[in-house]
Amino acid sequence: MPPQLETLAQAVARVRALPPGAPDSSRSATIFGIVLDCSLPRPSRGSDHVVNLRIVDGSGGDDPSAAAGVDVIVFSRDAAAMPQAAAPADIIRLRNVMVQFWAGRTQLMGQLVSYRPFSYQLFSGAADGPELPYRLGGGRDAACPLGPDDLARLAELRALAAAQALTGSEGPTACYLRKVMDLGLPPVDETATALTRQRLLRPQAHQPQINQQQQQQQQQQQQCVRTAPEVLDMRCRVLAIDRRNPREVVLFVWDSTDARALPRGVQLPPSRHRGREELRASARHCILPLLTGEPGVEVVEDLPLLGTALPVLLPQPSGQRPPPLPDVGSWVKLKVVGLQLHEGQLALVTGACSRIVPAAGGRHVEHVDAAAATRLARGDTAMFATRPATHCPRHRHLPLVTVRHVLQRRMDGRSGTFRLLARMTRHLPCEPSSFCRPVPDGGWHVAAKLELEDATGRLDALLLGAAGAELLGITPCDLGRSPDALFRVEAALARLGYIAADGAGPDGEGAAWMEVVISSAYSSDAAAEVEAAEAAAAAAAAAAGAGTGCGTGGAGAGLPAAAALAAPGGCVYFIHDTFLSVPGG
């Protein structure tokens, strides 16, 4: 005799009323439900795979917990046999599913094994969908045709899904939902910071006493101890998947918003789930791949020009088949993920309780696409940019673009000129006194490399000759013998908020935003442009009567030679228009 069809409310009420010691068979039920969430299969803590679903059937009345959905957990050793809803609001039929209670919440559990009677069927949620399941699993009962009561219940739930537009409501976890723009540094733990500094500054018996000045310098270099970042959920689009590291897959996700600019030197403790499980991954800087042809890399064809591509680090299980990944270009919901910061780059990290769930499209996707189009139309390339510390008077006609736009254009192999809003996060040479280098005729010219960063990426640009002298406000000379010129260089770098390797910077948080114009050169053209720029700078310095001298042997240390810049397929960027703005002007 087939089990009687019940609603969720009926099954829960019946099982709650069972006396202690009732047989497990009395706790099973056959239920239809609308799928709100369905995770991808992932390894459980044992030898099985597990899938989490959340379903509703409208039988809870005004009960908010029932409207949020009931959790369903399905176990199987075969990941391919697991239920996988094709879309939110599809209908699932659960036959002989166990009704149980955990932490005060209702939970349905099924095991896809030969000695258990559990089975499932998945149907399209469309009002005119077929009456045959598109996916099923379990014993022989899984293929049983639907009876009249089943067909009536299927039609009823399809009508309910259409009437209420059930496409994956957030339920009780809505408070954890974040956008990329919401992520940032957690607050400082003042007590832990004070204790850490006391411990680090306490003289050790086996170490010589250090003087007061050294103690102060050491204290300034210590990083503040911050509270652990929150565990969060995020709805986003998968832009790329990088499988080149066999131990860790990287997903790059996007929601059209920008990540905040953060200092390089700050390190965060790992996020904790329920105060126990640490969510962490290897500390590395992740670069969004731009081409699809490389083995192990998948990238969407319509890579957006705006918005941060946030890396999601997925450690791969050793000795086991890796869990399936979402398709590139699909919308997903990341659940129970942590936050990590390395060299100023935010990343999301996963743990045993993390899930990747297919997300609904519809209105949310339309809203994100509209927001991105609006930003692009008004040239809003940096959501958190403050008033730029520099301006480009000669190229105001150029539209503002992002670093990602510049890097994508690099693939065309053609030179171009671009206007950016970016931050200088690193420079080479490190010492301001080495920003000028001697030339063979006895003159001097500016030669440095700046790392420019915005919310979409980083690139290196050369600051040479007249453009460098204009930005720094100097006549090129031996800075080691010209205190006034060196002071102006140091003041200019301070205005730009350069952050040292230890994370210390003039503003304590990050570098200032710059408006800067750069030009690109490719392949063999790069060497010619570098040589031409250096020759022009030397000629200008000689004509201006720049100071001469033997200089220091390391004045140009670390700058790449022209021949190296012109490596086959290489690309070099030159800064040629940016002036310091008048403070407060």
Pairing label, strands 28-38, 5-6: parallel
Tell me whether strands 400-401 and 417-428 are parallel, antiparallel or unpaired: parallel
Which one has a higher pLDDT value, 167 or 494? 494
**319-362 confidence digits (pLDDT tens):** 777 778 899 999 998 988 988 888 888 999 988 778 888 886 66
H-helix segments, 431-523: 465-472, 483-495
| Mean local confidence (pLDDT), 439-451 | 89
Closest of 256, 264, 263 to residue 308, by C-alpha: 256
- At residue 237 the predicted structure's pLDDT band, cuts being 50, 70 and 90, is very high
Query: How is the chain split into domains, by residue range?
Result: 5-173, 232-370, 390-580
CB 564 within 8 A of CB 453: no
CB-CB contact of 462 with 572 (8 Å): yes
In 3-state terms, the chain is what percent helix, strand and coil (to 5)?
25, 30, 45
The 10s digit of each residue's pLDDT in 14-70 is 999 999 888 888 999 999 999 888 887 877 777 788 888 889 988 876 555 566 688
% of residues, the chain, pLDDT over 90: 35
CATH of domain 232-370: 2.40.50
* pLDDT tens for each residue of 242-252: 999 888 999 99
Give all strands (DSSP E) within 224-316, no chain letters.
Answer: 232-242, 248-254, 271-273, 277-279, 297-299, 310-315
Burial label, 86 (beta-carbon count in 10 A; 0-12, 13-18, 19+): middle
pTM of the model: 0.68
pLDDT of residue 564: 36
Helix (H) or strand (E) holding 515: strand 513-522
Same fold, 232-370 and 390-580: yes
Architecture label for domain 390-580: Beta Barrel (2.40)
Q: Cβ(166)–Cβ(36) under 8 Å? A: yes
CA distance 116 to 112: 7
Mean pLDDT of the chain: 79
Give the per-residue pLDDT at 328.
94
Q: What angle do CA 303, 307, 311 make, to 5 degrees?
A: 80
Which residue from 42, 72, 69 is spatially nearest to 58, judged by alpha carbons?
A: 69
pLDDT at 582: 64
Would you say domain 5-173 falls under CATH 2.40.50.140? yes
Task: Give the mean model confidence (pLDDT) for residues 158-176.
Answer: 64
